[in-house]
Structure 1
């Protein structure tokens, strides 16, 4: 009976983890998604990277829009230090026409994004990572094991940019990683819009 109960608990833990996506310390798998310039992008393309700032976002969410300039600033500050931003549009373009590939291209051109902006039309990697809001950040660190998840959550705690004493979670985490230390805060709650899911999405 104890063995059956243990097996059930183990299965429940596996299912919960699968539903929630990656956890801190997990090794993230690579992807191959289309960028707004028409080229495919994967983590392996960034040969000199020490890690990555993966931002699940979209065109249409007001919260995601409020953070676009901050995402651009993160790339400009940390890409030269080895942590480039890679943004992934989570939303189904049928459920949210403003998130079509053409609209992504328009937004990237309008905002002069210096980072890759990829589409994930079937939510394969959105689900694999466990993103559930826009924006939702996953910081990966290159290690001997692979691309380990070092931080999950919000960019900061000041959506309206009115608090000069705000907690800059992503910047704090990367600054510590660059010093060879682990982030002191590894998880925060992502605040933003719910993802616009495809009615029948394809999974890997």
Structure 2
């Protein structure tokens, strides 16, 4: 990582931590997961609940933090100012997305540790990273495509609710809907997390689909910059 890129990455991390609203978004999944998992722990629910709250941390932090900054910087022209630095547009986006990804991973890991402890964390990290990347990418696209902060916040909220809600309830939906919904990255993440938690290892097809999502979204972000 070049020095200007590292400097911008650190600056973005500091900006996130200086903003009380973004700090709340980082810790909200941790608080909610702890409270709700504790309340329902005696009801006989399986590990699906834990994987769902890890997903919640991914979509909450990734989608709700990344985009507002991009849209606000586009509106105030500070993003354009960054383009006259030695950094390329892709490097600027990578630094901004990378800072949010670090926050996403922190939130996810704390959700897991307060529920399961640290000993089984390592096998989960791959899908925490995959999920974190995908939902940061989704919000980057929204941040680059949407014209105003107000519209961006509304669209982001819709995506967050859809990704989280569908992954929470899809097992109760009719079986004929499974092929439709299982292509969503949120469901692929939950399926892999559940498989690991149940001692069954990773799911090859779902893992490849997650990689495909990352590639497709990366290309979309790159093409958006060429428009």
TM over 0.5: no
TM-score normalised by structure 1 residue count: 0.32
TM-score normalised by structure 2 residue count: 0.30
